[in-house]
Amino acid sequence: MRALTLIAFVPFALGQLDMLNLDCTNYPGPCNNDCYAAMEELPASGEDLGADFCSQTLNYNGPDGQSNSRRRAAGCVSPSPCGNGKLPTQSSDENTCDEYPYASTVEGGSGSILRCTSDDENSAEGSDLSAFFNSVCGYEPCTFEITFGNPGGGSTPYCLDGGGANDGYQYQYQGNGNYQLYNRDSNVTNEGRWGLHQPDPAHYFPPHLRREFLLEDGSRTVLSTRDQTTSYQNATFHTVRNGTVIKHRAVKELLGSAKSPELQHPALRASKRAVQFAS
Ligand SMILES: *[C@@H]1O[C@H](CO)[C@@H](O)[C@H](O)[C@H]1NC(C)=O
Ligand SMILES: *[C@@H]1O[C@H](CO)[C@@H](O)[C@H](O)[C@H]1NC(C)=O
Ligand SMILES: *[C@@H]1O[C@H](CO)[C@@H](O)[C@H](O)[C@H]1NC(C)=O
């Protein structure tokens, strides 16, 4: 009993907060898909809409040999559904299937959110993930969060918008070779077909609540979680630049009018013209 009491008074040593800071300028398509899924995914009907139901802490299990089966379960099968008309594409070079959560993590697999992206971008994000698993995790099990670095510039609208409708390219695999538009409302109407999501303020994570940080290299990054309280003072943000993992701390959290215009409170945004930050 005494031992238990003592343990209770020792501050619990939280694990190191390791952030994989995606560089959205290098792969806007996958980043956009990640943002759509991470920031706007809804729980299944009847689940508790708790504050962090959308928590996107990811677990890498080492090279567990399950990535390919999780990728298939997610619907990113071979031949690619993006190359044979099963999934619509915005342009013909978007011939690879991007899934989130990643098939290389425990959270991947059935139910993942899909978007067709270019092979170059899909591979670039995959390379960054591999570099992170190697350099930070040592190919051993590890827990991390992704953050969205440099999400401005207009190519990753789901990182910055207020839960806009499915643009017609966000899908989810239903099994048996069927893909359906991912409807973030779990109430399926429309004669059994899934329609485009109609934004419902209760069902998305408003941009002004998304937390943005300034990193030591002057870049900005946005959390993928709904967390509003954790200090990221001692978190390590790992960014892959040209294949090398660079570690940065956050210099500060950006608040109020220091945030990117799209992430500012609507009242602030309305009061002045938006000023784009240098990318
Ligand atoms: C689903 O939406 C329809 C039409 O808006 C409504 O009548 C029905 O009650 C909803 N069902 C649930 C479970 O929310
Ligand atoms: C960060 O680390 C410093 C030095 O160890 C410590 O004093 C501080 O309390 C830590 N901050 C948080 C939020 O954990
Ligand atoms: C990455 O490599 C390219 C081409 O070799 C180079 O132009 C660029 O400056 C490099 N970026 C960094 C961050 O090292």
* Three-state SS sequence of the chain: CHHHHHHHHCCCCCCCCEEEEEECCCCHHHHHHHHHHHHHCCCCCCCCCCCCCCCCEEEECCCCCCHHHHHHHHCCCCCCCCCCCCCCCCCCCCCEEEEECCCCECCCCCCCEEEEECHHHHHHHHHHHHHHHHHCCCCCCEEEEEEEECCCCCCCHHHHCCCCCCCCCCEEEEECCEEEECCCCCCCCCCCCCCCCCCCHHHCCCHHHCCEEEECCCCEEEECCCCCCCCCCCCEEEEEECCEEEEECEEEEECHHHCCHHHCCHHHHHHCCCCCCCC
Q: Is 189 in the pocket of ligand 1 (CB under 6 A)?
A: yes
Q: What is the mean pLDDT of residues 13-35?
A: 89
Residue 213: predicted pLDDT: 97
Q: Is 244 in the pocket of ligand 3 (CB under 6 A)?
A: no
Q: Is 234 in the pocket of ligand 1 (CB under 6 A)?
A: no
Residue of 234, 236, 251 best suited for mutating to test ligand 2, as the one with most atoms within 8 Å of CB: 234
pTM: 0.81
Taking only the tens place, the pLDDT of each residue in 142-167 is 999 999 999 887 889 889 876 567 78
Ligand of minimum distance to the alpha carbon of 239: 3
Distance from the CA of 242 to the center of ligand 3, in angstroms?
A: 6
Most confident of 14-28, 36-50, 130-144: 130-144
Taking only the tens place, the pLDDT of each residue in 60-110 is 999 999 999 999 999 999 999 999 989 999 999 999 999 999 999 998 998
Residue 161: predicted pLDDT: 77
Ligand of minimum distance to the alpha carbon of 26: 3
**Which atom of ligand 3 is found nearest the CA of 244?**
14
